[in-house]
Amino acid sequence: MGTRYAKVSADYASQSSSTNIYVTGAGTNSGYIFTVGDIVFNIRTSEKLRVTAVATTYITCDRQYGSAAYAAGLAGDELLKIGSVSEEGATSRNVNSTLVENNYNYTQIFRNSVSLTGSAKASKVYGGSDMKLQRAKVGTEHAFDIEHSMWFGEKKSTTGTNGKRLTATGGIDEHLNAGNSYVHSQGGMITAPDFNVFLRESFYYGKDNASKTLFSGSIIISALNEIALGQIQMRPNESSYGMKISTWVTPFGEINLIHNPLFIGELAGRGYLLNLDNYEYRYLADNGENRDTKLKMNIQANDADGEIDEWITECGLDRKLAAESSIIMDVTG
């Protein structure tokens, strides 16, 4: 089912004649959610308007298509499509089809090496094989590199110094800031009314009573412990992404709360409320070659006195429908 909501993107005049109303908030070409003959309700002014023409970013409307007087529209006014009217004997109306926005991202090659000299390999150390320990430590760093990029990376494609393609994957932060996502900048401590505004706007798009997941830093988690006192429930022995999940059932929808330990420093006051159906980890795989994470061992030169191992992954983040997710940021403790 297509959306019925859009927002006015530029003020329009109070006039009795036909008016072009510029719209946003319903995808790249927001005007195309409307069809000639639709009745549109400006919720703030109560005026009803009848759509007479449609373009990518605006609709042309007959004014005062009801008892409420025509009034000036303001950027940010909400428009609700409430139905359509057709004259007797008319032919069929135009049909609108909705498509998921065509988006793209790149995969990125992540590499982290482990190296020990022949002498170090032959030395007896406390705790067992040092090579095994170093592989585990570097493997953890490799995973951290990937996760940080999935959150904060920016997609880019260029040519490296050897003349080969050099690509970086774009993360969640880039996707939401570049899309139609709601970004709530608090700029201080957050209260229950503030957080209700964030939730109201965050659940504007997506399925009714949908379940979304809030990955956030410690400052936001602490604030929610006070705001939702007694309402947050821990799921016994359940975790996801290696993190414990708590659940908060709100009138807007269910929120799965996850404290992300990567969000430290200024990021402790930031959170990403995501519809996880719109994100998927992808790795390059074709022609029998799988570029998911693997450990390549003994890749040193034949005459090297030592061993080099390497963790390598070529992966990226599949992202779509940014408007169904949102950001809360600049929350202080």
Contact 269, 332 (CB under 8 A): yes
Statement: residue 91 has pLDDT above 90: no
Q: Report, as an integer, the average pLDDT of 203-230.
A: 85
Statement: residue 72 has pLDDT above 50: yes
Statement: residue 180 has pLDDT above 70: yes
End-to-end CA distance of the chain: give it in Å, rounded: 41
Statement: residue 2 has pLDDT above 60: no
Query: What predicted TM-score, i.e. pTM, was given to this entire model?
Result: 0.75
Element (H, E) at 237: strand 232-240
Q: Report, as an integer, the average pLDDT of 290-308.
A: 90
Q: Report, as an integer, the average pLDDT of 273-286.
A: 93
**What single letter denotes the amino acid at residue 214?**
L
* Complete domains list, the chain, with CATH: 5-84 (2.40.33), 108-170+280-319 (no CATH), 180-279+321-331 (3.30.1930)
CA atoms within 13 A on the CB side of 143: 9
pLDDT of residue 230: 66
Phi, psi of 84 (to 5 degrees): -145, 160
What span, in angstroms and rounded, lies between the C-alpha atoms of 221 and 270?
10
